[in-house]
Amino acid sequence: MTRRRWILLNPGPVNLSPAVREALLGDDLCHREPEFARLQARVCQRLLDVYGLTAGVWSAVPLCGSGTAAVEAMLAAVPTEGRVLVVENGVYGERMGRICAVHGIAHETLHLEWGEEIPLEAVERRLAESAFTHLAVVHHETTTGRLNPLDALDALCARSGVALLVDAVSSFGAEALSFDALAACAGTANKCLHGVAGLSFVLARRGFLAQAPRPPRSVYLDLAAYARALAAGDTPFTMPPQLHHALDAALEELEREGGWSARHARYRTLAARVAQGLAELGIEPLLAENESSVVLRAYRLPRGLSYAHLHDALKAEGFVIYAGQGGLAQRIFRISTMGELTLEDMDRLIDAFRRILPRAVR
């Protein structure tokens, strides 16, 4: 089989490393046999190890589904008497608000423009005004590339006696997380961890899982049920063994490469090469470097260049970039530097831009 090597600059699924691709060919397993239980336990331990979390305090709970499944399972586990303040400054914050609404979870939203900086004093004031038990926030808002100030939000929650719930789907494995007030965070296999799409996870304090509503708000996304089964070496539903093999290999690779901080440094180098190359062509980033994650950056479309044209011209050269969402669709494009990518790939990308731009814009 010959494979076309697309260079994926979309925020997941990412280009796989040879080791992760090879792992997909691992043993066929039954999800109710001890071989699978051992594989799953190893993956969970490796997930905790990424940020050095203690197994007695924290549980890693794998779920079958994309990142949204993990975010939804996390929020559906908010205690019956819980009240959540959801911060929205992009698509994924708004999705958390929708999830709370659908599940009938008592919540309010702090709604901001997409890409707007989170006003910390306003968050703290809202938490003080009303009896919220949880603050829900997206760490890296992939809508715009904005990295929300998790450290400050965590400290603020600790001061306010509020538990923090984080969508860390596009940051887990490549950005610094904070754990003081954290009750749970949601992540996925196929973004910064470089695994295969279809497996996601919630990392939760055992105390948070113990307070989950019973009966649960969802049958399939009942986080506490997964955690209970996991503790017994079992799983409530069929699990994908191949995706576990792949995530196991991906986490081993991450560890061997030096962990999340090494990956952070690597993404930073790749992203800086792209930003510099595009700046030389007059293409500006949407956000300043210190406001943006190292995982993905959004750029303003040059005047006179449509996204469709840019996308198709780059795709003809093997590069898949990513559109802006909603109202940003005609104004920006996004480039993620997750996955098995090299500096040479970035240089070839800039060369492709150089060839495409003069024809398109002038």
Ligand X SMILES: *Cc1c(COP(=O)(O)O)cnc(C)c1O
Residue numbers of the site for ligand X (CB under 6 A)? 11-12, 66-68, 71, 92, 138, 140, 142, 167, 169-170, 188
15 or 170: CB nearest ligand X: 170
Residue with CB nearest ligand X? Answer: 67
Q: Cβ 286 to ligand X, closest distance in Å?
A: 16
Q: Cβ 3 to ligand X, closest distance in Å?
A: 23
95 or 273: CB nearest ligand X: 95
Instruction: Report cis status (omega within 30 of 0) of the bond before 215.
Output: yes
Q: Cβ 64 to ligand X, closest distance in Å?
A: 12
Q: Cβ 8 to ligand X, closest distance in Å?
A: 13
94 or 340: CB nearest ligand X: 94
40 or 336: CB nearest ligand X: 336
Q: Cβ 172 to ligand X, closest distance in Å?
A: 10
299 or 353: CB nearest ligand X: 299
